[in-house]
Amino acid sequence: MPVRRIEARQNPLVSGVPERSVRTIFGRIPFAGIIMAKLIYIANTSLDGYCEDRDGGIDFGAPDEEYFSFINDLERPVGTYLYGRRMYEAMVYWETAPIPDQPSWVVDFTNIWRGADKVVFSKTLASISSARTSLEREFNVEAIRQMKADTTHDLTVGGAGLAAQAFGAGLVDECHLFFWPLVLGRGKPALPTHGRLDLQLLNERRTRSGVVHHHYRITK
């Protein structure tokens, strides 16, 4: 499959003028009346803050209908997924996952995933194996800023390593953390450890299976 590069798309609503906004503790304040897309980090995490166990495993338990449906509602308006290599290799399963006889919420998730654009950032991945996917060797901060300015659909970043780079560059606007009822003891931290992050809690929710969802805005 040919690799598609990141292409900046001009916003037809503003003649040649990219979208711009300022992030404040009260949210994003638009310039020219238009708010640019958000970059959102979505992650599963243990109660002690790890998104992978010490062996790199990401099996937190069997997601049920309630969890899948909530994820589907989060992902439905998203236009582009940004992935590191390992997260892409885990998620590309959905490109060819069998749909017949699957519950409706799994079919919904599969179709949402296949319908979104994906950008994979990796120095070692030889090629991509899914449609609507491009491969980038470098994490170009300015290219991501331009993507946010040139689209009306939000973007998500998947994988703690790539997310840490996005957090460090001040690109992440919000995060959704799903705390599963388990403790791993060691592993890969779900959030970056390079410095302080100030967050504003926007919403919280608990599923019947004990998964707790926190929705945060990044304020600093």
Q: Sort strands 212-218 and 50-52 into parallel, antiparallel or unpaired.
A: unpaired
| Beta carbons within 10 angstroms of residue 61's beta carbon | 13
Q: What is the pLDDT of residue 34?
A: 62
Compute the average pLDDT of residues 28-40. Answer: 70
Backbone angles phi, psi at 67, to 5 degrees: -65, -50
Q: Which residue has the tokens 């790890």?
A: 50
pLDDT tens per residue, range 131-189: 999 999 999 999 999 999 999 899 999 999 999 999 999 999 999 999 999 999 999 99
Domains and CATH numbers, the chain: 29-218 (3.40.430.10)
Q: What is the pLDDT of residue 36?
A: 84
Q: How confident is the model at residue 24 (pLDDT cuts 50, 70, 90)?
A: very low
Q: What is the pLDDT of residue 77?
A: 96
